[in-house]
Amino acid sequence: MLRQIVYTSLVTCPLTPAAIELLLLKARRANALSDVTGLLIHSNSRFLQILEGPNDAVVALYAKIEEDKRHHSLRLIDDRHTAFRAYPDWQMAFEDNPNPNTNDVVLKSLIRMMNHIPIDKVA
Ligand SMILES: Cc1cc2nc3c(=O)[nH]c(=O)nc-3n(C[C@H](O)[C@H](O)[C@H](O)COP(=O)(O)O)c2cc1C
């Protein structure tokens, strides 16, 4: 059984493009080893990330991500066991400041999901 987790968070300090690139480089390398795939969106000082993979790998990774000081106020949007990956081809795909009017319906709904959580409501 696979695990799929979707969370949002708020960026602690603005991340430079180089800092994001390094984060992604390390994340993709580690995720490839543990068979984790997904998507990371960075927009308006927020992140939304989807993590999919073997249960133990995703749980261990999310525990590390929760402790990461580069972001805070993590909010678990969805957490499920699943037989199939929803996004098998996303090797931690990355979208920086995506256009909310994009024609990509999946991306559009994720941006909406991310932005509909008011900052003052984030636990
Ligand atoms: C928004 C965000 C997303 C992250 N996504 C991943 C990821 O998909 N995979 C990963 O290995 N690390 C990711 N990290 C980094 C982890 O929090 C952590 O720094 C990393 O797993 C290194 O762990 P280590 O101490 O075992 O080297 C992410 C960090 C942030 C802030």
Ligand 1 atom showing the smallest separation from residue 65 Cα: 17
pLDDT at 109: 87
Contact, 28 vs 51, CB < 8 A?
no
Q: What is the DSSP string of 16-41?
A: PHHHHHHHHHHHHHHHHHHT-EEEEE
Contact, 52 vs 63, CB < 8 A?
no
28 CA distance to ligand 1 middle (Å): 9
pTM for the whole structure:
0.93
Mean pLDDT of 2-20: 95
68 CA distance to ligand 1 middle (Å): 7
pLDDT at 67: 98
2 CA distance to ligand 1 middle (Å): 19
Which amino acid, one-letter code, is at 122? V
Q: How many residues does the structure list for the chain?
A: 123
Tokens of 110: 């994720």
Question: pLDDT tens digits for 68-98?
Answer: 999 999 999 999 999 999 999 899 999 999 9
Question: pLDDT tens digits for 30-59?
Answer: 999 999 999 999 998 999 999 999 999 999
Domains along the chain with CATH numbers: 2-121 (3.30.70.100)
Q: Measured at the alpha carbon of residue 35, what is the angle toward residues 5 and 59, in degrees to the nearest 5?
A: 35
pLDDT for 117 beyond 80 = no
